[in-house]
Amino acid sequence: MFDSSAAGGKCMSRGFSSQLRFAVAVSSLFLGLGIASAHAADKVVMMPVDLALATPDAQSALNGSVAFYFGDTGHPQVTQSFGEIVSNKRTNAFAKSDEVTCQRVALSRFIGLQERANQLGGNAVVNIRSYFRSNEVKSDTHYECHIGFLMSGVMLKGEVSQAS
């Protein structure tokens, strides 16, 4: 049993009560931010493919074993198709510029496409297009990036091929 006189009586209760109110307030704040960010509409931007592929990180991560052809860009003749693949990735967008977060997540997708093409025996990914929530956006020069409060995402769809 708790003896309030031994523990300081009202002072102990008041201290516990203020700690509890503080904990509830902080929890409510984080819950509110989580709900707001989950319901916030994504900002959709079209970002240039060539800028994402020209970053120093891209130059060191992509080994040239796979060529990327966006939209209807001309490509060498496909001698074998290994089928379509979808590559989806999100990254932390908090306190980063749109350009930085989109390039980072796009590079992650290019690396994923390269790895999957290598696994399947392909040397190219052709007809690459943005593919977010089953909505395709085709461009020869840009990819679609969805930017939220905490996360940014790029989803790409393309055909892994052996091209001559």
Exposed e or buried b per residue across 89-116, where buried means at least 16 C-beta atoms within 10 angstroms of its C-beta: bbbebeeeeeeebbbbbbbbbbbbbbeb
User: Whole domain around residue 64: which residue ranges?
Assistant: 41-163
Q: Do 13 and 91 have their domain in common?
A: no
pLDDT band at residue 132, thresholds of 50, 70 and 90? Answer: confident
Cβ atoms 58, 110 nearer than 8 A: yes
CATH number at residue 72: 3.30.110.70
Tell me what the pLDDT averaged over the chain comes to: 82
In this prediction, residue 39 carries a pLDDT of: 39
Q: 16: which 2 tokens?
A: 């516990």
Give the span between the Cα atoms of 152 and 94, in whole angstroms. Answer: 9
For residue 51, the surrounding DSSP H or E stretch is: helix 49-53
Q: Do 19 and 91 have their domain in common?
A: no
pLDDT band at residue 15, thresholds of 50, 70 and 90? Answer: low
Give the span between the Cα atoms of 135 and 129, in whole angstroms. Answer: 10
Q: Do 95 and 140 have their domain in common?
A: yes
Q: How many domains is the chain built from?
A: 2
Global pTM? 0.72
Q: Do 63 and 30 have their domain in common?
A: no
Span of 5-19, 63-77, 93-107 with lowest mean pLDDT? 5-19
pLDDT in tens, 24-33: 555 554 544 4
Q: What is the mean pLDDT of residues 84-105?
A: 85
Q: Do 81 and 149 have their domain in common?
A: yes
Give the span between the Cα atoms of 18 and 26, in whole angstroms. Answer: 12
For residue 128, the surrounding DSSP H or E stretch is: strand 124-132
